[in-house]
Amino acid sequence: MFKPNRKAFLKLMTLLFAGGLVCFGAVNIYSRRAEIPETNQQEKQVEESESDRGNDAEKYLFVWAGDQARTNPDFLAVINFNEHSRNYGKVITTVPVPAPGAAGNEPHHVGLSRDGRVLACGGLLSVLRAQNEIFFFDVSNPRTPRFISSADPPMSAITDEFYPLSNGGFLVTMMGGAGGAHPGRVVEFNRDLQLVSEHPQMPPMDGFNPHGISVRPELNLMVTSDFICPSTTLHVMPGDLDLRGSVRVWNFRERKILRTIALPNPAGTIDVKLIPDDNRARAYTAGMIDDKLYLVDTRRGTMRAVFDFSTIAQGGWPQLMRMTSDGKRLFISMNTAGKIVMFDTTNPERPRVLKILDLGAASGPHYIALTEDEKRLVISDYFLNEDELGKVHAEGDHVVHVAKVTNRDLVLDPRFQLNFNTAFSTGPARPHGLAFK
């Protein structure tokens, strides 16, 4: 098991991964912008005119992505998301991560600040190259984002999910300790993007590897879900993956864990979502390995299975979840099954399948994001491929989809066509985190 001392860990990584890093081209990091065709001035004026027309729906899609070869810089792509535009679904620009530490971060999840001015992006595997792992972009002008800074919390690593705070900062789940094992932390940044703390001060030692996060501030309630001990996904750690199966219930204001709700078996609880407006403060989580959807009672400290995903596809890896603001619809990606499931959760104890959107057996959908008006669900087809370094190889087809959402249906938008294998002159890229403005 890795020691939680970052310096010791990095020395170990240098010895064990030198060959792998050379293969990935870690020393060949380019700081130039990914080359894409640029519109001329007249087209740009037309585009801006189109952006001003129509309703207040989001008109820009941000996609946090990594170069598949891990040689060119990781980057933030800006996509035309305006349904009224002739260039709907086209790349507007890309902003590369600057050197040092530009490539090989394994871009993962993202979070947009409450005021919509800052996009925070995580590097899942930045620690393997001794690089900063949280990246902040100024997106106040969404057409031309600007890199602000990056951070490297000293006691934690393996960046996952973001929760934007009302004061302008972020909470970020860090699945591993400084050495990539456990315990992990939930780190906090203030509105100036300065690290405030790594919570809790005394983390539990029973597999605290937080991935998912959900908050209901009005109830002073936060929940996180433990997914996996990250170091066990690497070849240098013998044996199988060390999955987790637990939800932590927190006092949100004090940032303290109140109780742990554990499953009998480690099912890989990758995500958790509190049900909006539920007067019993319940939540959903899913077991990626046991094919179950669980209803979590945060007050009683219990959870029970309320749906069996094997009725859709056995071993389909249910992963990330999104809920509508009224708590009556739930969307879940099934990675290896290549499907998105839409549930009616009007009765939380009896979720009912409304639609199974089939993206294809090899599609590999993972990250999903629901627009503010809840009329479009965006899906990125890529989970994680650790290549020569690790045991996880869930590549997907690198396509980004848009599905139209109605009260009872989920239908792909044929106008939106975006394939990260062919969209950039720098070669195939792996799209992951999604956000809108």
- Residue 361 is predicted with a pLDDT of 92
State both tokens at 316: 């389909």
pLDDT band for position 47 (cuts 50, 70, 90): low
Radius of gyration of the chain (CA): 20
Q: Are 420 and 396 in contact (CB under 8 A)?
A: no
Q: What is the reported pLDDT for 56?
A: 76
Count structural domains, the chain. 1
Nearest residue to 87 via CA among 35, 55, 50:
50
Q: Output phi, psi for 222, to 5 deg.
A: -135, 145
Cα–Cα distance for residue pair 52/272, rounded to 1 Å: 36
Cβ atoms within 10 A of the Cβ of 393, count?
10
**pLDDT at position 6, please?**
44
For the chain, what is the mean pLDDT? 90
Centre a 10 Å sphere on the Cβ of residue 433 and count the other Cβ atoms it contains: 23
For the cut 80, the answer to whether the pLDDT of residue 378 exceeds it is yes
Among positive and negative, which fits the CA dihedral 61, 65, 67, 68? negative
pLDDT digits (tens, 9 = 90+) for 162-195: 999 999 999 999 999 998 898 999 999 999 999 9
Backbone region of residue 268 per phi and psi (left: phi > 0; alpha: psi in -120 to 50; beta: other values): left
pTM: 0.90
Percent of the chain's residues with pLDDT above 70:
87
b/e code 219-232 from CB counts within 10 Å (16+ = b): eebbbbbbbbbbbb
Paired sense of beta strands 146-151 and 134-138, if any: antiparallel
With a cut of 90, say whether residue 27 has pLDDT above it.
no
Burial class (CB in 10 A: 0-12, 13-18, 19+), 86: exposed
Other Cβ atoms less than 10 A from the Cβ of 87: the count is: 15
pLDDT at 415 over 80: yes
pLDDT at 115: 97
Given CA atoms 17, 19, 25, 27 in this order, what sign does their dihedral have? positive
Domain that holds residue 95: 6-436
The pLDDT of residue 161 is 98
pLDDT of residue 179: 87
Of 393, 197, 213, 165, the residue nearest 321 (C-alpha): 213
Residue 46 scores a pLDDT above 70: no
Lowest mean pLDDT, pick from 8-12, 91-95, 202-206, 265-269: 8-12
Q: How many CA atoms lie within 13 A of 79 on its CB side?
A: 27
Q: List Cα–Cα distances, 374 to 58, 283, 289, in angstroms.
A: 11, 20, 29
pLDDT over 90 (residue 8)? no
Q: Is the pLDDT at 17 greater than 80, yes or no?
A: no
Q: Is the pLDDT of residue 7 over 80?
A: no
pLDDT at residue 221, as a whole number: 98
Q: Please state which of the ranges 31-45, 98-112, 161-175, 188-202 shows the lowest mean pLDDT.
A: 31-45
User: What residue type is 184 in one-letter code?
Assistant: G
For 7-11, 221-225, 234-238, which range has the lowest pLDDT when averaged over its residues? Answer: 7-11
- Residue 1 domain flag: no
pLDDT tens-digit map of 215-225: 999 999 999 99
Q: Look at residue 401 and tell me whether its pLDDT is greater than 70.
A: yes
Q: 3-state class of 104 per DSSP?
A: coil
What percent of the chain lies above the pLDDT cut of 90?
A: 86
Q: Would 330 be classed as within a structural domain?
A: yes
CATH code, domain with 31: 2.130.10.10
Does 100 sit behind a cis peptide bond, omega within 30 degrees of 0 on the bond before it? yes
Statement: residue 234 has pLDDT above 50: yes
Alpha helices (H) along 262-308: none
**Given this model, what pLDDT does residue 230 score?**
97
> 281-308 pLDDT, tens per residue?
999 999 999 999 999 999 999 999 999 9
How would you label 29-45 residue by residue, b for 16+ Cβ within 10 Å and e otherwise? Answer: bbeeebeeeeeeeeeee
Q: What is the pLDDT of residue 55?
A: 62
pLDDT at 19: 37
| pLDDT tens, position by position, 326-377 | 999 999 999 999 999 999 999 999 999 999 999 999 999 999 999 999 999 9
* Distance, CA of 158 to CA of 155 (rounded, Å): 11
113-139: average pLDDT:
97
Q: Which two tokens stand for residue 154?
A: 């000293």
- Distance separating the N- and C-terminal Cα atoms of the chain: 42
Dig out the tokens for 283 from the structure. Answer: 């939540």
